[in-house]
Amino acid sequence: MSHVTQEDVNQALAVLGLTLPVTPETLARAKRVQLYTWNPAHYSNLTNNPKSYMQAYKKAEEMTKLIEASYTLLSAVLVPEEGPPGQSPS
């Protein structure tokens, strides 16, 4: 993974509605809640105006991608699978 800044982490936390400290369980729950909230299918009966519907649908799709990216980033940064070889976890 490329260089991740504190600002990236803070933005990902904000997208998922989390604050530090984060556990794997709270991270997974926040992802589920946000994906449910921004599910594009929820916008199918929102309006009879096709233009408004498509705008809401596209926004939901963008948010879904952002939620997935935020979850991936936080999973990698805050819940690393394993450290560099030769180092024991502290």
pLDDT digits (tens, 9 = 90+) for 9-63: 999 999 999 988 888 999 999 999 999 999 888 776 666 777 878 888 889 999 9
What's the pLDDT at 17?
A: 93
In contact, 27 and 78? CB cutoff 8 Å: yes
The answer on pLDDT for 1 being more than 50 is no
Cβ within 8 Å of residue 45, ≥6 positions away: none
The neighbour count for residue 22, using CB atoms within 10 Å, is 19
Give pTM, 2 decimals: 0.76
Angle (nearest 5°) at CA 12 between 84 and 5: 50
